[in-house]
Structure 1
C-alpha cells in the first residue's frame, strides 16, 4: 500500500500554516508590547532627565549664593536671565531665593527690602512664627511670580517638610504636591518645588547640628507637573495614557496627573491591552507612572501580517515539497556562504596583522599620553631592536634627540585637540646603538565612538638615504652655482680678453697687406687674407656664442607683441640689404603673441633670415609667415621655397654650430636656430621643422602664452 505522501505533506503544510498564523499573531502582540514598554521606559527616562536638569540649574544657583557674601537683586536677575531657562528648560515657573530667618530677624529683613524700592513689602501670611523663609528673589519678576514675593513658604507644612529635609541632608529635595501661590485663586493643579540649601560657607557642615546652624536660606524652583509633562513628552505618547501617582503604588486618592483620554465614543475596547507601572525617584520623592494603551495604539498593530501568513500558507501548501527542497538548498548555500565569510574574515584579520607586523615601513600605535602600545618588526629593525616588547610602554618622544621632541609634541597635541586630522614630520630617531636615522612620520588619530581620543597610528618611513641624497644634491647645486659663476667669468674673458688679440691679428694683417703689398708675392698676400678672414670669423663666432649665452641670462618680459608688424620690419630690412633679389613675402596680418618683444623679434630675425639665406639660389623667392590653430593650440610658422634639407638630419638643425650645408655655399656660424630654440623654450613653447631637399622648408613654433584671433588674413608684398 502506497503511503499518501502528498496528503500527508498537505496536512502537515496546513498544520504549519495554522501554527504560523497563531505564532505571527502572537509576535505582533509581543512586538506591540515591546514597543509599548519601550515608549513607557523612554517617557520615564525623559522625565528623569528633565528633573535632573532642573536640579543642575538649582545647584548652580545655590553655588552662586553660597560663594558670595551677598548677591544683589540685580545680580540675581542678570544671572537668571543669562541661563535662558525659558528657551532651554521650559516648564520652570521661576528660579528664586528665600532666606532662612529667625523671628528677631523678620523686621530688619522687611525694612531692608522696603529700602530696595518696595515700600509696601511684608512677609505673608501674617502671624508670629519661630522661623520664616520668605520669597525674596524670584525671576522672572513679573506676572504671576509677583504673587510669590514675600510669601513665607515655611508656613506651609508640605513646603516646610521639604526644606527641613534639604537643610538636614544638604541635598536637593523635591516637595510634595502643593498649590503654587503663582496660580492664585485659579483651579489648583499639581505643583512642586525643588529646594537646594544655601549654607554659610564659613561654617562647618559635618554634623546635623552644624548644618542647621549654618543654614542661610534656600534656592528653589517652582514648576507645574502638567507643564513638565507637556514640554518633555509632547506628542511622544500618542495612543498611550499616562497617570502619575504620588507614592510607590497607584493610589487614586494620590493621583497627581492624568493625560487626556480619548472620547469614550471612539474607543474600540474598554480594557487596555497593555499596562506598565514604573517608579520615578527624585529628590527624596517617589512617583508611580502608570501607562495604559488606548484605542489609537491598537490601530498601529500589524494585523496584515497574520492574515498574509494564513492566506499565503494556504496558497503555498500545494507547493510545500518544492519550497522545502528549495529552502533546504538555500540553507545549505547560506551555511556554505557563512563559512566562507567567516573564513574570509579570519583571513582579513590575519592579513591585517601580517600587514602591520610585516609592513615594509615602521608602524606604531601609541596612547594619547604618548606611550607605545604596539610596534611592528620593521620599526624595531629600523632602530636596531630585536623584539617589539623592548619598545612597548616607552614614550614616543624618548626615541628622538631632544632637538626634535618639541616639534613632535606640538603636532601630536594639535591632532589630539582636534586642530588637525593628521600630521607629517621629518625627524631623527635614536637607534639602540647610538646611531641616528631620519624618518618621515605620518601620524593620525583613532577616536572612540564618543569622540574621545583612543590611540594614534604612526607610519615611519626610513628616509636616511633620501636625506643623504638631498644633501648631496645641495652640494651639487652649490658646485653648479660655482660653475655658473666661472662660466660668467669665462664669458667675460671671451668678450674682453679674446677680442683684443683678435683685433691685433686682424689689424697687423691689414697693415702688412697695405704697407708691404709690393714686397709680398701673390701667395703671401693670399695667406694674409686668410689670416684676416679667420680672425674675423673667430670674432663672429665669439659674438654668436655670447649672444646664445645672453638668451639664458636675459630677464624675460611679458607683454603683447605684434608679430606681423615685426615680421614686416624684418622683411623690409632684408630687402634693403639685397635690393636686386626678387622675393615675395607673404605676411599674415593681426598675428599677436604674449612674450618678450626683443626675444620674439630675435626669433623672427633668425627664422626669416634663415629663409632669406637658403632661398638665395632661387631666381624668384617666396617666404611666408603666419599662424593657425590645431587642437586648441596656436602654431606660428615661417615657410620658404629654398634648398630645403634632408629630414634624416632634422635633429641637427637646432644644435649650436651645427650645419647641414657647406660653409662656402651659405655663410653663417650655425648659431641662429639654436638661439631661436632657446628663446622659444624660455617662453614655454616648442619648435620643429619640416622639409625636403630642393622643396623648401617650414619652421613651426608655439608659445604657451600665444594669443591671437581666428585664422589671419594674408597679404603679399613683392620684394
Structure 2
C-alpha cells in the first residue's frame, strides 16, 4: 500500500537518465504503480538542472554517470536551489567514493542497476511519504499562522489561561483596553483582574462554557464593563488544558443605555408637561372665545346702539370716538379669531385626501377679486396641481400665502401673483411668487415667527400670524417652507408636501 497525497496537484518527479531504454522502462513501471505521479525526463545533468529550474519538481531520480553533467554535480546544484528535495540516485557502479559524496550532499536513497522494481517502488514510496508529511506540516503551519493572526488582530480582547485561571497569553486588544503590558499580566490570575463569582468557576470546571458580563479595573484605576465568554479547551482524554476568554468592551454601550433611559424619563416628564400645557391651552382658548369675546360683542353692540339712537345728537368729535371704539372692537375680535385658529392648528385631527391645489387657489383668488374690485391683480395659477393632505388645512395654507402676496402688492397699480410647481431633485416644490414690496433676506429668520413683522403696521395691516400659520400647516404635513426675496422686487415662498401612502 503506497501513500496517497492529500488533495492538490499530483507530485512531480524529475527523472534524469542518459540510457533511453532504461529511462522508458522505469517511467512505465512508475506510471503503473503511481498513476498520480507526473514524470518529466532529461538525458543528462545539464538538461535535468534546467528542467528543475523550470518545474521545481517534488522529487528527483538521477543516474550518476552521464554526459555533459553527471548526476552528482546536478544534485549538488539542485540542493542549493531547494535544500530538502528528495533525491534518489541510480548507478551501475558500487563505487564507495560516489556513495560518500551522495551522503555528503544529503542523498539518502541509493539504487543499484539493474534496478529492482521492488526497491524502486519502496524508494519512491518513501519519497512520496516524505512529501506528504511536508505538505501536511506546511498546511498545519499555515493554519496555525492564520489562527494566530486572527487572535492577534481580533477586535475583541482574548486571554488564554490555565485551568486554575493563571494567564498565559493576552492579545494586543487586551493590553490596549486595560493599559496593562503583556509582561505585567502573564502569570497573574484572572481573579485579580476581574470580579468572578463561584458560579463561573463551577461552570467552567464542569466542562461547560460560561457567558455573562463582568466588571474590571484598568491599570489607571478606571472601571470598565465587558461581555465575556469563557470556554474550556480539552485534551484527547477530555481533560481541561486551558481556558479561552473572549471579551467585548460594553462600557460605552452601558453608558448609552443609561443615557437613553434618562432621556426616556425626561421625555416622559416633558410629555406630561405638554399634556398639562395643552389642557391649560384648551382652557385658555375657552376663556378667550367666551369670556373675552362676550364683552367685546357687548361693546360693539352698544356702539351701534349709540350711533343709531344718538348719532345725530353727538358732536363730531364724540361720534369719531365712538367710531374708533367700534372699529377697534372689530379688530380685536378678528385678532382673537386668528389666535384661536392658530392655536388649533397643532391639535386639529388631520384627514388626508388627494386635493386639487389649483382649484383651491382659483377659488381663493376669486374671493380676493370680489372683496377688492378696485385692485388690478393678475393671478397666474398652473392647472392640475394636486397633493395629498388635509383639504381644510391646505385651503388655509394657500389663503395665507396668496393673501400675503395680495397684501404686499397693494401699493402697486398693477400686480402679478403666480402659483406653480417645479421639480427639484425629484421632489415637487410648490411656490407662490409676487412682484410686491419684498423684504431684506437678512431679516428672513423672523418670517415665520408669530407676531413678527418685517413692515410697519402703517404700511401693511395685519397681526403677523399668517406665515407662522403657513409653517405649522406645512410641518404637520411633513414638509418644508422657505422664502427668497429682494426689497421692492417681490418675494417667492416655497413649500413641499411629501407624498404619503393613503
Fold agreement, TM-score > 0.5: yes
How far the C-alpha of 1:642 sits from its partner, in A, is: 2.0
CA separation of 1:507/1:630 partners in 2, compared to 1, >3 Å: closer, same or farther?
A: same
Q: Secondary structure at the match of 2:38?
A: coil
CA separation of 1:653/1:472 partners in 2, compared to 1, >3 Å: closer, same or farther?
A: closer
Q: Which has the larger radius of gyration?
A: 1
Task: Please list, as runs of the form range in 1=range in 2, the aligned pairs for 1:479-494 lying within 5 A after superposition.
Answer: 479-494=273-288
Contact 1:582 1:619 in 2 (8 A): yes
Contact 1:269 1:295 in 2 (8 A): no
Q: Secondary structure at the match of 2:387?
A: strand
Task: Please list, as runs of the form range in 1=range in 2, the aligned pairs for 1:129-278 lying within 5 A after superposition.
Answer: 268=25
- Residue 477 (str. 1) matches residue 281 (str. 2): no
- Residue 607 (str. 1) matches residue 345 (str. 2): no
How far the C-alpha of 1:465 sits from its partner, in A, is: 5.3
Q: Secondary structure at the match of 2:368?
A: helix
- Residue 395 (str. 1) matches residue 199 (str. 2): yes
Contact 1:637 1:701 in 2 (8 A): yes
CA distance in 2, matches of 1:573, 1:621: 16
Q: Identify the residue that residue 297 of structure 1 maps to in structure 2.
A: 35
CA distance in 1, matches of 2:197, 2:486: 77
CA distance in 2, matches of 1:630, 1:522: 60
Task: Please list, as runs of the form range in 1=range in 2, the aligned pairs for 1:346-425 lying within 5 A after superposition.
Answer: 351-358=172-179, 374=190, 387-388=192-193, 391-395=195-199
How far the C-alpha of 1:626 sits from its partner, in A, is: 0.9
CA separation of 1:311/1:545 partners in 2, compared to 1, >3 Å: closer, same or farther?
A: closer
How far the C-alpha of 1:491 sits from its partner, in A, is: 1.9
Q: Identify the residue that residue 108 of structure 2 maps to in structure 1.
A: none
- Residue 589 (str. 1) matches residue 383 (str. 2): yes
How far the C-alpha of 1:303 sits from its partner, in A, is: 5.7
CA separation of 1:643/1:476 partners in 2, compared to 1, >3 Å: closer, same or farther?
A: closer
Q: Identify the residue that residue 704 of structure 1 maps to in structure 2.
A: 498
Provide TM-score, normalisation by structure 1: 0.41
Contact 2:228 2:245 in 1 (8 A): no
Contact 1:587 1:626 in 2 (8 A): yes
CA distance in 2, matches of 1:440, 1:518: 91
CA distance in 2, matches of 1:495, 1:441: 61
Q: Identify the residue that residue 475 of structure 2 maps to in structure 1.
A: 681
CA distance in 2, matches of 1:633, 1:524: 60
Q: Identify the residue that residue 37 of structure 1 maps to in structure 2.
A: 3
Give the alignment's Cα RMSD to 1 decimal.
4.9
Q: Identify the residue that residue 338 of structure 2 maps to in structure 1.
A: 544
Question: 1:87-115 CA deviation, whole Å, 9 max, x = no partner?
Answer: xxxxxxxxxxxxxxxxxxxxxxxxxxxxx
Q: Identify the residue that residue 622 of structure 1 maps to in structure 2.
A: 416
How far the C-alpha of 1:468 sits from its partner, in A, is: 4.1
How far the C-alpha of 1:301 sits from its partner, in A, is: 4.9
Q: Identify the residue that residue 455 of structure 2 maps to in structure 1.
A: 661
Q: Identify the residue that residue 305 of structure 2 maps to in structure 1.
A: 511
CA distance in 2, matches of 1:590, 1:671: 29
Contact 1:641 1:695 in 2 (8 A): yes
Q: Identify the residue that residue 488 of structure 2 maps to in structure 1.
A: 694
Q: Identify the residue that residue 28 of structure 1 maps to in structure 2.
A: none
CA separation of 1:570/1:395 partners in 2, compared to 1, >3 Å: closer, same or farther?
A: same
Contact 1:687 1:700 in 2 (8 A): yes
How far the C-alpha of 1:270 sits from its partner, in A, is: 11
Q: Which runs of 5+ in 1 are unaligned?
A: 1-34, 43-237, 240-266, 274-292, 325-340, 360-372, 376-386, 399-415, 432-438, 708-719
CA distance in 2, matches of 1:486, 1:455: 59
CA separation of 1:355/1:583 partners in 2, compared to 1, >3 Å: closer, same or farther?
A: same
Contact 1:560 1:593 in 2 (8 A): yes
Q: Secondary structure at the match of 1:629?
A: strand
CA distance in 1, matches of 2:49, 2:274: 90
How far the C-alpha of 1:517 sits from its partner, in A, is: 3.9
CA separation of 1:510/1:473 partners in 2, compared to 1, >3 Å: closer, same or farther?
A: same
Question: 1:158-181 CA deviation, whole Å, 9 max, x = no partner?
Answer: xxxxxxxxxxxxxxxxxxxxxxxx
Question: 1:342-375 CA deviation, whole Å, 9 max, x = no partner?
Answer: 9xx79x966323234249xxxxxxxxxxxxx947
Contact 2:433 2:490 in 1 (8 A): yes
How far the C-alpha of 1:675 sits from its partner, in A, is: 0.7
Question: 1:194-243 CA deviation, whole Å, 9 max, x = no partner?
Answer: xxxxxxxxxxxxxxxxxxxxxxxxxxxxxxxxxxxxxxxxxxxx99xxxx
Task: Please list, as runs of the form range in 1=range in 2, the aligned pairs for 1:303-342 lying within 5 A after superposition.
Answer: 307-308=49-50
How far the C-alpha of 1:690 sits from its partner, in A, is: 2.1
How far the C-alpha of 1:607 sits from its partner, in A, is: 1.1
How far the C-alpha of 1:588 sits from its partner, in A, is: 0.9
Contact 2:27 2:39 in 1 (8 A): no
Contact 1:691 1:697 in 2 (8 A): yes
CA separation of 1:637/1:612 partners in 2, compared to 1, >3 Å: closer, same or farther?
A: same
Q: Secondary structure at the match of 1:556?
A: coil
Contact 1:592 1:706 in 2 (8 A): no
Task: Please list, as runs of the form range in 1=range in 2, the aligned pairs for 1:456-467 lying within 5 A after superposition.
Answer: 457=247, 459-461=249-251, 462-463=254-255, 466=259, 467=261
CA separation of 1:507/1:310 partners in 2, compared to 1, >3 Å: closer, same or farther?
A: closer
Q: Identify the residue that residue 187 of structure 1 maps to in structure 2.
A: none
Q: Secondary structure at the match of 1:352?
A: helix
Contact 1:446 1:457 in 2 (8 A): no
One of 321, 329, 347 as aligned partner of 1:527: 321
How far the C-alpha of 1:486 sits from its partner, in A, is: 1.6
Contact 1:591 1:627 in 2 (8 A): yes
Provide TM-score, normalisation by structure 2: 0.57
CA distance in 2, matches of 1:683, 1:470: 26
How many residues are aligned here?
A: 351
CA separation of 1:638/1:306 partners in 2, compared to 1, >3 Å: closer, same or farther?
A: same
Q: Secondary structure at the match of 1:37?
A: coil
Q: Secondary structure at the match of 2:497?
A: coil
Q: Which runs of 5+ in 2 are unaligned?
A: 12-23, 57-67, 82-147, 158-169, 181-188, 203-208, 217-223, 236-242
CA distance in 2, matches of 1:510, 1:430: 82
